[in-house]
Amino acid sequence: MPYDRLKGKKIIIETLGCRSNLYESEAIASALEALGAEIVECPPYDVAIINSCTVTQEADRKCRQLIRRLKRLSPEGQVIVCGCWAQKVEEREAKALGVRALVGNRKKNLIPQILASLFKETQEELIVKRHSLQSCGEWDDLFLSRPHFHTRAFVKVQDGCSRNCSYCIIPSVRGKSVSRPLENVVEEVQSLALNGCKEVVLTGIQLGFYGKDIGSNLANLVEALSGIKGIERIRFGSLEPFGLSRDLIFRLASFSKLCPHFHLPLQSGDDQVLEAMNRGYNSSDFAKVVSWFREAFGADVHIGTDIMVGFPGETEDMFNRSLLFVERLELGRLHVFPYSGREGTKAYSMKSSLTKEEVRVRVREAISLANRLLDKYARKWVGKNVPVLVEEISSGVAEGLTPHFLRVKLRSEALVVNNEVARVFIEGTKDGDLFGRIVKNK
């Protein structure tokens, strides 16, 4: 394939959705840059790549809206869409929107080849590279040598989901759970470390399932990555509570480079709602997992979660029980969002008696609780010295993250360097963010 056609081409990469998509977009950007393409942030462009999401109907709407906007801003540019929306959309709809190519999940490594073919000659037919994922066990062979859009590097180690939550369409567009070979992850993280990366965030659609198909587990992976020189922090993305054992959690706690921050999606604290969601656990099971993390990592471990509001059949009592459960667990950062019916899922046919306004009221109430919980957790750190990985310096203010995933803002007139770990004394907090001053560099 004559990839020299890509040299000098201006390419925009837009990412919608999850952290796995962020990793894929970074890896696609790295591959295209290596072939001579120029990654740009705004039009004009030769090609726009949209790494898409389809988790809700709103996600579909945003994807269509982005396609139209990109076509309007650069009419001569070509648009290709990869990812979950591309996996499920009807070809005639994509073509009507002006999309030149659809690239499904686990085919994204073909994007350089597809782009080279687009520049070969004028073509009118839609290029389609996707396949059924129901029995697919292959790994999408992408590789990231340095972060392109972030200081921290997102590293995808798992894809797909073998569960069947009643509201979720992702298994049908991502396929069954598949793990990335451990040695392949190590090779990538070694390359990232050589290029100056200090923190890696391990991501996946169902991260807790890592290794089950290859005779390994997350602890083995963290152990292997902990030995890589230059890597100072290892962090998990969203970690579903399915299948997490006490033994696994305690082994994870033995690795000092693993950040004590875990996002464990709950969805609801009411057992009837959890059963209707087909989550596979009840509130007591979830509370037990939280207690294991606190026992293993200490009381200051930061545990966040997702709360879905307005699931079909959720009564006011169920909603109140859910909030009370979360409050009693004293979780930290909460991601609150309303239920969005997704055609093709079991929950789509479930009836809901809630009006949109009733759902909005509940969302506001849940967000109010989320703000109080995060503020309470953040205040724990006032008066303490914490290590902060500096990610951005702008207008005299530096920002970065603690190991516990709290954002810290500090005056940067001190010797603060981007992508370095600084020791910071926390002086105060506002809206979940911390404010501090440099004590000394690490």
pLDDT at position 124: 64
Cβ-contact 274, 234 below 8 angstroms: no
The string of pLDDT tens digits covering residues 388-437 is 999 998 888 899 999 999 999 998 666 788 899 999 999 999 999 999 99
Q: Which residue's structure tokens are 């709290």?
A: 406
Place of tokens 């606190």: 294
Phi, psi (degrees; rounded to nearest 5) at 412? -100, 15
- Architecture, CATH, for domain 3-129: 3-Layer(aba) Sandwich (3.40)
Backbone angles phi, psi at 202, to 5 degrees: -80, 125
* Neighbouring residues of 246: CB distance < 8 A, sequence distance ≥ 6: 292
pLDDT band at 322 (very low <50, low <70, confident <90, very high): very high
Delimit the domains of the chain by residue range: 3-129, 153-379, 385-441
Domain 153-379 fold is pyruvate-formate lyase- activating enzyme (3.80.30)
pTM above 0.75, yes or no: yes
Name residue 14's beta-bridge partners. Answer: 50
pLDDT tens for each residue of 346-386: 999 998 889 999 999 999 999 999 999 999 999 999 999 99
Mean pLDDT (the chain) is 93
Q: How far apart are CA 258 and CA 185, in angstroms?
A: 16
Name the helix (H) or strand (E) containing 103.
Answer: strand 99-103
Distance of alpha carbon 221 from alpha carbon 251, whole angstroms = 11
Q: What is the largest CA-CA distance in the chain?
A: 64
| CATH node for 385-441 | 2.40.50.140
State phi, psi for 328 to the nearest 5 degrees.
-65, -30
Q: Are 141 and 109 a contacting pair, CB within 8 Å? A: yes
CB proximity list for 48: less than 8 A, separation 6 or greater: 11, 12, 13, 14, 70, 74, 77, 78, 79, 80
Report CA Rg, the chain.
22
Torsion angle (degrees, nearest 10) of CA 406, 431, 409, 429: -90
79-102 average pLDDT score: 95
